[in-house]
A = this chain, B = another copy of it.
Amino acid sequence: MKIVLIGAGNLATNLGKALRHAGHDIVQVFSRTAESADALAHILQCPSTTCLSDVSLDADVCILSVKDSALADIASQVLPGREHMLFLHTAGSMPMDVFAAGRRGVFYPMQTFSKSREVDFRCIPCFVEASSADDLECVRRLASTVSDRVYNLTSDQRKYLHVAAVFCCNFVNHCYAQTESLLKEHDIPFDVMLPLIDETAEKVHVLSPREAQTGPAVRWDENVIARHESMLQGTALDIYHLMSHAIHEMQKK
């Protein structure tokens, strides 16, 4: 398919690479800043623009992969005159109807993207939606060229999926960050934690997280909890206190 890519962030970069690798024709990249537009255009070997009115008219699909807060505004500027194209956005937390009119849908690849890190797109669950059966078929076909895991999902379900992903990615990563900062204060290298981090993740492939839980909070070992709390301060202490009670509470249910 002929594809225009609006946006040049982490997700746009990884998705653009995967689409190009799958043989699609990326006809153009748009970004507000010339620097990021050019950087991604260079990777995808296609023209770039920083001007929405210059977005190509000759494409089948226009994928918007921009900050959620900019999405509605950019969509309304780029749609006029391009009603023949299928507009897709890649935002987990935005409804399909952020596009006010036209052929529209969603293509949400649920993963944590960093520009510096290659990911295997084929393993990424992609959640799709469209405003017509034909366009749903079209976005499913497109998604299947880059991923083996394509699921239909409504806008309403997707917003819960997105908040759930924040817990098991961003909040999990913040727990790693708190760990790193605690270890650093006591001259212990972070990498001693990697086997524990890996096993904690692997465990929930076979046990439910509730069954997999271990540690002082699930045993409600008040001596250990009190000792730990006496060693912590500030935000780390607040997190320790809240999470320990939350674990205990969930176990009692």
Chain A residues in the interface with B (C-beta under 8 A): 10, 67-69, 93, 110-114, 116-117, 119, 123-125, 149, 151, 153, 156-157, 159-183, 185-188, 190, 192-201, 203-219, 221, 223-224, 227-228, 231-232, 235-236, 238-240, 242-243, 245-247, 249-250
Partner of A250 from the list B166, B177, B186 (CB cut-off 8 Å) is B177
For A173, list chain B residues within 8 Å (CB). 200, 203-204, 209, 212-214
Partner of A227 from the list B93, B123, B170, B197 (CB cut-off 8 Å) is B93
Residue pair A186, B160 in contact (C-beta under 8 Å): yes
For A185, list chain B residues within 8 Å (CB). 160
Residue pair B110, A170 in contact (C-beta under 8 Å): no
Residue pair B221, A69 in contact (C-beta under 8 Å): yes
Give the distance in Å from the alpha carbon of A194 to the alpha carbon of B165 in the complex. 10
For A208, list chain B residues within 8 Å (CB). 177, 180, 190
Min CB distance, A64 to chain B, in Å?
A: 16
Give the distance in Å from the alpha carbon of A99 to the alpha carbon of B69 in the complex. 59
For A242, list chain B residues within 8 Å (CB). 235, 238-239, 242
Residue pair A182, B164 in contact (C-beta under 8 Å): yes
Give the distance in Å from the alpha carbon of A167 to the alpha carbon of B186 in the complex. 16
For A180, list chain B residues within 8 Å (CB). 208-210
Residue pair A235, B246 in contact (C-beta under 8 Å): yes
Complex A-B: 18 CB contacts under 8 Å: A10-B214, A68-B223, A93-B227, A112-B196, A113-B214, A149-B192, A160-B186, A160-B231, A163-B182, A163-B231, A164-B182, A169-B197, A174-B246, A177-B210, A177-B250, A190-B208, A197-B201, A200-B201
Q: Lowest 5 A-B CB distances belong to which pairs?
A: A170-B215, A177-B209, A176-B209, A201-B201, A168-B179
Residue pair A179, B164 in contact (C-beta under 8 Å): yes
Residue pair B200, A172 in contact (C-beta under 8 Å): yes
From known contacts A192-B110, A250-B174, infer whether A204 and B197 are also in contact, taking CB-CB under 8 Å: yes
Residue pair A195, B157 in contact (C-beta under 8 Å): no
Give the distance in Å from the alpha carbon of A112 to the alpha carbon of B205 in the complex. 14
For A69, list chain B residues within 8 Å (CB). 221, 223-224
Residue pair B114, A165 in contact (C-beta under 8 Å): no
Min CB distance, A75 to chain B, in Å?
A: 15
Residue pair B203, A117 in contact (C-beta under 8 Å): yes
For A200, list chain B residues within 8 Å (CB). 112, 168-169, 172-173, 201
